[in-house]
Amino acid sequence: MDQNVSVQWHWNEPGSHSVDWQAWNALITASNSPSIFLDSRMMLSLMNSEERNLAAVTWYQGKELIGIAVVEDALAESINLDGHIAVKRSWFSFISRWVHGSKGRFTFRVRVIGPVLGSGLHSYRWAAHISKLEQRQLLSETIFTSQSNTGTKIPRVAMLKDLPIHYKGRRKPLHSGWAPLEFDPEMLLHIDSDWSDLSDYMAQMTTKSRTKIKRVLKVSAALKISNWSEQKVVEEADQLILLYQKVFNRSGFRLGQLHADQLRQSKRFWGDNFMVKGYELEGQLVGFQCAYIGYGEVEAFFVGFDPELVKSHAIYQRMLVEFISTGIHCRSGRVNMGRTALDIKSSVGALPQRLQCDVRFRNPIFHAVVSRYTKGFDPAEQVLKKAWKVDAYAKRKHSEIHTA
């Protein structure tokens, strides 16, 4: 590391008091790349959440703040990986089954650079004069140097999330010592500034898709939807987590999970810009959704619901429509719907953005073996719905992120 550059790790709640948040936010502003997940309110929400194990990392050149990153030590769990990838090599399935064992489950600890519970490029920000090569060198030299104040061991692998892929074809290695991986894309929906309500959004969809949205609104009409106050979130957070677990437990790959305290802390630091909506049916709480609102974007965060209501009351589809409605009402530029349930999200107009994660192992021999192993798979190919008319704004706007 350059002798003029120093790095500081600020772990969890104690560390939140030692960060110069004004300088932190100023660096993000200067980067011209705003980020909900790097915003000081998000960092404080996470660092004050008891169940997380998270650090704010700062790099200084003299007295100048030149880089920031969010890093979290998390538990990753893979369940029946073969069902979620496209195998390119004959021996991959054999190794995958061996790693996952008889129960089809493989669990490991990982140091994540970026938001564990979010998607998109929210890992770090750097001063303009720090080149990409220097950024990666500083990150490589730093990432395994600090142990959490909780006393847990430093994980043996680090994962850098989520670098957008703006080209066709397979992912490409970007930096020496880091192996590229690709999972499911994030699903984005760009919102036309001329839209004033859902009818304007629906007018740009194909007849088939518009009919589906109308049916979702009709079938879900019995659900009572309400915006929750901070007091309500504080009182009912544990109940929301029970609903969240009903969805979380069905996922095939898990990287960290949502906890009640994060809901409480998010409402504390974000106020009305952390939206929590509750869903009731015949007086009983049956679902919730939450989202962060800021920087011209709605970040759809998490949902929870009784799975049987997906068919009978289209509860999940209605939540997706509510995220879009929130984006229109808040005059946001887009809604980020995350990287699960791709088919359903495409049916309401969300479009895919490929993302690359880079991994680095502490043991160079193991890194070389795993790098070769991971070349054997790509994310499973998805056939997504085509919801938009040919000249729809959301479709035209989305194409702009694939010009490189």
Q: Mind giving me the DSSP string for 157-209?
A: EEEEEEEE--SSSS----STT-EEEE-PPEEEEE--TT--SHHHHHHTB-HHH
Both 116 and 208 in one domain: the answer is no
Mean pLDDT confidence for 117-133: 95
Provide, rounded to the nearest whole percent, the portion of the chain with pLDDT above 90: 76
pLDDT beyond 70 at 404:
no
**pTM, full prediction:** 0.90
Both 177 and 30 in one domain: the answer is yes
Mean pLDDT confidence for 134-159: 95
The residue segments making up the domain with residue 80 are 5-186+354-379
Q: What is the CATH number of the domain that holds 275?
A: 3.40.630.30
Can you give the pLDDT at residue 91? 46
Q: What is the CATH number of the domain that holds 175?
A: 3.40.630
- Tell me the pLDDT band of 376, cut-offs 50, 70 and 90: low
Q: Are 315 and 219 in contact (CB under 8 A)?
A: no
Both 35 and 121 in one domain: the answer is yes
Both 163 and 308 in one domain: the answer is no
Both 323 and 397 in one domain: the answer is yes
Q: For residue range 290-348, what is the model confidence (pLDDT) as tens digits?
A: 999 999 999 999 999 999 999 999 999 999 999 999 999 999 999 999 988 899 999 99
- Residue 229 DSSP code: P
Both 164 and 234 in one domain: the answer is no
- Looking at the structure of the chain, the number of domains it has is 2
Q: For residue range 187-222, what is the model confidence (pLDDT) as tens digits?
A: 999 999 999 999 999 999 999 999 999 999 999 999
Both 272 and 138 in one domain: the answer is no
Both 147 and 206 in one domain: the answer is no
User: CA 254: distance to chain centroid?
Assistant: 12
Q: Are 69 and 29 in contact (CB under 8 A)?
A: no
Can you give the pLDDT at residue 28? 98
Describe the crossing of helices 230-248 and 260-270 by its angle, rounded to 10 degrees: 140
Both 14 and 47 in one domain: the answer is yes
pLDDT beyond 90 at 154:
yes
Q: Are 274 and 232 in contact (CB under 8 A)?
A: no
Both 241 and 97 in one domain: the answer is no
Provide the token pair at 251. Answer: 């996922």
Which residues lie closer than 8 Å to 79 by C-beta, 6 or more apart?
100, 104, 105, 106, 251, 252, 253, 254
Can you give the pLDDT at residue 401? 67
